[in-house]
Amino acid sequence: MRKILLHGSLGVAVLLSLFPFYWTVVMATNTTQDVFRNPPKLTIGPHLADNVQKVLQSVDLIAPIVNTVLVAIATTVLVLFFDSLAAFAFAKYDFPGRKVLFGLLLLMFMVPTQLALIPQFVIMAELGWVGTLKALVVPAAANAFGIFWMRQYISSAVPDEMLDAAKLDGAGFFRIYRSVILPVIRPGLAFLGIFTFIAAWNDYVWPLIVLLDPNKVTLQVALSQLNVGLKQDYSVLMAGALIGVLPLVVMFVLFARNFIGDAVKGAVK
Amino acid sequence: MTARARALRSAWPQYLAISPFYLLFTVFLLGPTLFSLYLAFHRWDGIGEMQYVGLDQFRFLIEDQTFWLSVRNTLIIWVLSTVPMLLLALVLAALLNSTKRLVGFYRVALFIPNITSVVAVAIVFGALFATNSGLVNITLQGIGLPGVPWLTDPWAIKIVIAMLMTWQWTGYNALIYLAGMQSIPSELYEAAKIDGAGPVRAFFSVTVPMLRPIILFTVVVSTITGMQSFTEPQVLFGNNSAVNANSGGPGQAGLTMVLYFYRTAFGQNDYGYGAAIAWAVFLIVMVFTILNWRLVQRRAD
């Protein structure tokens, strides 16, 4: 009896958690009239292809998807490389200024992003990067969270003896990074990679500001424009929302196992 | 060569390793943050000359009714979202902690809202809460209750935004609490049992005190993120031409501090005043973070 109550309550929570997705699918696969009749239709219908076609007719979503994938991949690769390299230096080496530099990083980690937004936009205008994907990737490559998190990871995952052995063999910093550190920190890189990819995929404020040209936006900005343009045709709108959400949810479910554990760990330590 | 110079020289690989980050960091984050402080004391539209105005913009800010409206809106939305979010998360975590079956599935299902983009969620919530045809009102009317003008009433607007945030963050916080609960030594519960405590009593006198640092963490994070809400009202009411763009909906009821900042800086190209607003927001977030920190810590003592 207690078990039934327990799983019943958890089931309700899961239902509330997932219902908006189900309902998005319901709307995206039906016509708007079907969903808005009373009582509303709550089962999946046959009109997905129609609705997707209509979305693509009203807003070009293909280019934004390509832009978003490019930005997310480029950002992820740069963050993984720069952050793991810097984190390795901070975790395993003592050099003059190390504490001050790391302290500065932690301090900026706490400063809210909107403080820097206006000057960032001015800099992009000066560089001629407004409306380009460079404006999204280059600043995002400096990720303080990533260095902080990777430093913790390297400190606990790589024993000092391993480095000492490599040093005795005469290997320098970059050689050790490549042949000792990289293979060991793969699980850490996987988490930071998925985390960075999700953040880049979902980023909205900065792309909204810096990608003025409506033809060169990312997916989130395109979706918000869809919301403005298609306010009445909900089925088509939901087909668009589905396109924006589905790839990430599928990726997440595939990798979720370790990701959630790592995402939660930082808070508990 | 002095010892220090030798140390500097031999550490060149480390400096090289951290230099890409600090280069980008200085150009795109540290520099802009400092420049925005300079900007807050100037009038500037981004094109013409900058004009030094001293504290004028901050004086204007203090008398700016719209700014204070946005502060009030933000605080109300933040309370409406954070309180149910953290309480629900605690209950969910306690439920999850008392079973081993299906926990993997529950964890994934409860975490998915958190990885979903706020833009998509705002679009879906906008459709769910539509006054005439939204599923929520149809359901309410179906069971004989009156529909609610969710997207036009000043309080209902705030509730919808708060629900959106609660939906996105409850599962995340629950999983953090769950991880914390699992690291509580079981001897403590056995001792409580011997002292005659039931499960409810054990929850309040063992679980909650032991979770204290984690609860503190979630309160601080929710304060920082909740006080900076922007995308939720911007997407929900971005096209509200009845008032004006980025107004936060009818009656500006969803105009949050950061949305007001965005509208001033990038909607009206008032960069100087925008920078002043950004710094005011920063100060307010800091004050509330510290207040919360103190409050949660003291309550546990």
pLDDT at B133: 78
What is the reported pTM?
Answer: 0.93
Minimal CA separation from A11 to chain B, in Å: 8
Minimal CA separation from B223 to chain A, in Å: 12
pLDDT at A10: 95
Around Cβ B69, how many Cβ atoms within 10 Å?
17
CB B11 within 8 A of CB A83: no
pLDDT at A209: 94
User: Which residues on B lie below 8 Å from A141 (Cβ)?
Assistant: 20, 24
Integer angstrom CA distances of residue B139 from A32, A173, B128, B144: 17, 64, 10, 9
- Among partner residues B18, B106, B107, which is closest to A86 by beta-carbon distance? B18
pLDDT in tens, B211-257: 998 999 999 999 999 999 999 999 998 766 555 778 888 889 999 99
Alpha-carbon distance of A189 to B95, in angstroms, equals 32
B179/A227 Cβ within 8 A: no
User: Which residues on B lie below 8 Å from A16 (Cβ)?
Assistant: 167
| CA A17 centroid distance within chain | 20
- Which three-class secondary structure state does DSSP give residue B277? helix
Runs of H (alpha helix) within chain A: 2-28, 32-36, 48-58, 62-92, 98-109, 114-127, 134-140, 144-157, 160-168, 173-176, 182-184, 186-202, 205-210, 219-229, 234-268
pLDDT at B1: 61
**Chain B residue closest in CA terms to A38:** B138
Q: Does the pLDDT of residue B261 top 80, yes or no?
A: yes
CB B174 within 8 A of CB B88: yes
Q: What tokens appear for B48 in the block?
A: 């013409």
pLDDT in tens, B201-220: 998 889 999 999 899 999 99
Alpha-carbon distance of A163 to A98, in angstroms, equals 19
- Among partner residues A115, A174, A198, which is closest to B13 by beta-carbon distance? A174
CB A255 within 8 A of CB A94: no
Give residue B108's pLDDT band: very low, low, confident or very high (50, 70, 90).
very high
pLDDT at A269: 65
**Average of per-residue pLDDT across B22-41:** 95
Question: Counting beta carbons within 10 angstroms of the beta carbon of residue A103, is it exposed (0 to 12), middle (13 to 18) or buried (19 or more)?
Answer: exposed
- Among partner residues A40, A142, A231, which is closest to B28 by beta-carbon distance? A142
Mean pLDDT, chain A cut into blocks of 10 residues (269 residues total)? 89 95 93 79 90 88 93 97 96 94 87 90 94 94 93 92 90 93 94 95 94 85 84 85 91 86 78
Q: What tokens appear for A33 in the block?
A: 């009239």
Alpha-carbon distance of B45 to B270, in angstroms, equals 5
**Average of per-residue pLDDT across B259-280:** 95
Around Cβ A132, how many Cβ atoms within 10 Å?
16
The upper half-sphere exposure of residue B65, i.e. CA atoms within 13 Å in the direction of its Cβ, equals 1
Give residue B32's pLDDT band: very low, low, confident or very high (50, 70, 90).
very high
Q: Single out the residue of B249, B227, B222, B114 nearest to residue B172, CA to CA.
A: B114
Q: Does the pLDDT of residue B300 top 60, yes or no?
A: no
- Dihedral, CA of residue B78, residue B79, residue B81 and residue B87, to nearest 10: 140
Task: Report helix angle B271-300 to B212-226, nearest 10.
Answer: 160
pLDDT at A257: 76
- Specify the length of chain A in residues: 269
CB A153 within 8 A of CB A145: no
Write down the residue that tokens 């016509």 correspond to: A31
Integer angstrom CA distances of residue B80 from A103, A258, B222, B287: 35, 32, 12, 19
A86 part of contact set with chain B, CB < 8 Å: yes
pLDDT at A2: 81
Q: Which contiguous run of DSSP H or E holds residue B52?
A: strand B51-52
Minimal CA separation from B247 to chain A, in Å: 14
Q: Single out the residue of A150, A45, A246, A53 nearest to residue B112, CA to CA.
A: A246
Q: What tokens appear for B279 in the block?
A: 């710094």
Task: Report helix angle A234-268 to B154-182, nearest 10.
Answer: 40
**Chain A residue closest in CA terms to B47:** A122
